[in-house]
Amino acid sequence: MPGILDSEQRQSRSYRTYKREQEQISRRKLYKTTALYTSYSAILLVLALRSSHAYRAVGFYLGGIPFWMLLEYFSHRFVLHRHWKISKRPHKRFLTRLANKHLDPTHFGHHARPFDGNHMSGRIRDLLPLFVLGGPLSVLLFPAYTASMLVAGAFQSYIAEEWIHHATHYYNFRDPYFRYMKKHHLYHHTSQGMTRGFGTSSGLLDFVFQTRYPKQVRQRLYGSKARRLRQSEQPDSARLNIS
């Protein structure tokens, strides 16, 4: 009996050490992404607030939040969760080859190893093409402080979503929102839940587009307070059935 307990304690310590190491890897990568896109967003917001278009700018900046939520939901559901086969059609071959090479291993690798820091946080290069194109074009092609602020707000929302995603995998906040999102997102990582629950920062769009979990699953995840407390005491690996 003591030998079994010692073995379980060693495994628990090993798991905590692994998770702590992976959290540091993910956080370091996220710092770089945050620094770039938050600086861009903050500079545009400050310039807008000092201009004569402050109210317009703030309105479009806040509009970047639902814009990003929709973009994140649909890309997660229809792009990242799709196994891309290389098309035989010449005009599709290049794009499907890129998707097969970069998107498939990135997101499905994250599902296979949900606490791997190298498959957790977004890198600068992930959205860099959108940033390089969207930033200048939103300034040149649209009225002042409209589309440019929408883009800035969307990139800032992307950063917020990345930190929320990071937190749901590594931290155990007592805040009701994070407790809800942790259950919502980690169940998405199970074999039963990965075809639903695509919202990473909110379950709202899963409700709107009918991809929330079945009623019995929601009751099990978000049920009585006593059940939630018992579940919160279990390690993430036990809740996800990860060895």
Where does the pLDDT of residue 13 fall: very low under 50, low under 70, confident under 90, or very high at 90 and above?
low
- What is the DSSP secondary-structure string of 135-152? HHHHHHSS-TTSHHHHHH
pLDDT digits (tens, 9 = 90+) for 114-168: 999 988 888 888 889 889 999 999 999 999 999 999 999 999 999 999 999 999 9
Where does the pLDDT of residue 229 fall: very low under 50, low under 70, confident under 90, or very high at 90 and above?
low
Q: What is the pLDDT of residue 172?
A: 92
* Cα separation, 188 vs 199, whole angstroms: 9
pLDDT reading at 8 higher than 90: no
pTM to 2 decimals? 0.83
Where does the pLDDT of residue 235 fall: very low under 50, low under 70, confident under 90, or very high at 90 and above?
low
* Cα separation, 170 vs 217, whole angstroms: 23
For the chain, the helix, strand and coil percentages under 3-state DSSP, each to the nearest 5: 75, 0, 25
The residue with greater pLDDT, 120 or 4, is 120
pLDDT reading at 96 higher than 80: no
* Cα separation, 111 vs 69, whole angstroms: 21
pLDDT reading at 226 higher than 50: no
Find the mean pLDDT for residues 55-62. Answer: 96
What average pLDDT does the chain have?
85
Q: Retrieve residue 75's tokens.
A: 């890309």
Residues, the chain, total? Answer: 243
Q: Residues 6 or more apart from 77 whose CB is under 8 A from it?
A: 198, 209, 211
